[in-house]
Chains A and B, each alone.
Chain A
């Protein structure tokens, strides 16, 4: 091997080693979390801690399902799904108006962006008071509405960028062909934005799925999401680690699988978000 090639190979080897080490370090907490959910009580509460479960124990999961705790994952799903759909729909059409007609000019656009900067705690408090008054606490609609409102600025901002990348000529030719503007929106513009839609949708869904503070304040028993449910297992002295862990697995696994499939879109969404934002 020439000295140059040898240098290259060493560098590659070092980089590979660093990459492996980094990945292991970052994955370890997730591994530990997942692993706990499969351990027996004895294994969990042993010291020094055991590094892998003795057997693949599903007891904790059975308890969660039996007690109906797992239903909270279903709540999360309903709430996240509905709010995402709503936010995508309203956001998409609004973004189109902003992109093509500059409706409301800079002021509207800036106002919409500024909504994203509002700290959740400052929002959730008056919303809570309002919901108490409107009897919307612990209802699906209440939570969905708030998630939608909170996700809208992001959706509008992202989709506006993607729509602006679609050549006007396509829409204009469709209009000349006799389509109404509404039809053009759905038949011409929407398909062209598929990639952007996917990326934005994932983000919006993940945000709603993972939210804690809104759910904490606005749900009680009916609509409790899995994030709130997990905190029910925190005790003063000791936590129900098994349940925390199992619930976390139930709450994170769907997202892992989804982002696994939508890898490209997710990564693209993150990076383009910064470039366009």
Chain B
């Protein structure tokens, strides 16, 4: 396995600047997820690492070796494609063995390796079949098998689960994660699905418009987003954003909403905000941090009375849409906390967990 160094990478497609100056360090053995909306450049970045596209500027180093001028076959990498890219005129065994045969691996080695890989992926019984006879999940396993059977130093996954149905996707997510634990290789995984990113990654790299918005562990990005974009991207349902202004209150700061309500911030949260009193900010609060108010004052909880506009029950929880300071917001309540709309309900917002955002730069202040 090898580490990956990318510095100053730029890639143009005609006039489109798809990758704008990306610097990335991936330690050996880590499972890194490149995530972002379509068009953010994540696939381009992956393909540049693979050598399927040329970088216009910058360097790509795998295991300390600059690979910019090397064709894909010389980079010692393996890749799993979104549409599987299996060879339709070969059976599963030959598909998996293809890479080994191309590199003139001795015949005696090929068979046991292929069989072992197939067993590991639970497709040992399909080795004689042809791609057209297999289901989506099986096809994906063969594609993974083809990549894994060669001991490459870097594994690339290009949205491999996008073509599978939801249930299969859940299953395969766990399998790929388990695979990484077993093999311990460096893996780079591209997806647009934030759930895949959160559940599978050792590190997440969130891309936007060709640059890295933020990189870090999943919890890093989730709990300490650097920008509004990151905060909004991760988490489902998405974070609520409400315009407010920062005011002084008692011995701490509070947020005054457009309807006059104020929500007090715990003191330790105000450290970076002291010079912004009386300025407009954006309050970011996740639905799971807004709940039904219980009796008693607990530190850090602010109370708010809202009128329920819409209820979306999911079984164990109910998502309630209400008006929070002039904006529609979603709260995650217990299933039986509220039963009808147009009802006033007292909510408590966990101010320990909110983020305060500068409205002009969209950077998270605190």
Contact = CB atoms under 8 A, between A and B. Distances in A.
Interface of A: 2-4
A91 to B, nearest CB: 34
B362 interface: no
Interface of B: 54, 68-69
Contacts of B68: 2, 4
Chain B facing A: main interface SS: loop
B9 to A, nearest CB: 15
6 contacts: A2-B68, A2-B69, A3-B69, A4-B54, A4-B68, A4-B69
Contacts of A4: 54, 68-69
Those 6 A-B pairs whose CB atoms lie nearest each other, nearest first = A4-B69, A2-B69, A3-B69, A2-B68, A4-B54, A4-B68
Contacts of A2: 68-69
A9 to B, nearest CB: 13
Contacts of B54: 4
A92 to B, nearest CB: 35
Contacts, number: 6
B47 to A, nearest CB: 16
A4 B54 CA distance: 10
Contacts of B69: 2-4
A2 B68 CA distance: 10
A2 B54 CA distance: 12
A141 B140 CA distance: 62
Nearest to B69: A4
B71 to A, nearest CB: 8
Nearest to A8: B54
B327 to A, nearest CB: 42
A2 B69 CA distance: 8
A4 B75 CA distance: 14
A3 B69 CA distance: 7
A259 to B, nearest CB: 31
A4 B68 CA distance: 9
B61 to A, nearest CB: 16
A265 to B, nearest CB: 28
B180 to A, nearest CB: 32
Contacts of A3: 69
A5 to B, nearest CB: 9
Nearest to B71: A4
A4 B69 CA distance: 6
A148 B68 CA distance: 60
Nearest to A2: B69
B169 to A, nearest CB: 31
A40 to B, nearest CB: 53
A171 B69 CA distance: 55
B188 to A, nearest CB: 23
B92 to A, nearest CB: 28
B56 to A, nearest CB: 11
A2 B56 CA distance: 12
B36 to A, nearest CB: 29
A52 B69 CA distance: 49
Nearest to B54: A4
A11 to B, nearest CB: 13
B10 to A, nearest CB: 15
B59 to A, nearest CB: 12
A152 B281 CA distance: 75
A22 B54 CA distance: 31
A89 to B, nearest CB: 41
B253 to A, nearest CB: 56
A63 to B, nearest CB: 56
B72 to A, nearest CB: 12
B189 to A, nearest CB: 27
B11 to A, nearest CB: 15
B159 to A, nearest CB: 28
A4 B66 CA distance: 13
A8 to B, nearest CB: 9
A2 B71 CA distance: 13
A124 to B, nearest CB: 43
B81 to A, nearest CB: 24
B54 to A, nearest CB: 8
B160 to A, nearest CB: 29
Nearest to B70: A4
A58 B69 CA distance: 59
B215 to A, nearest CB: 29
A3 B71 CA distance: 12
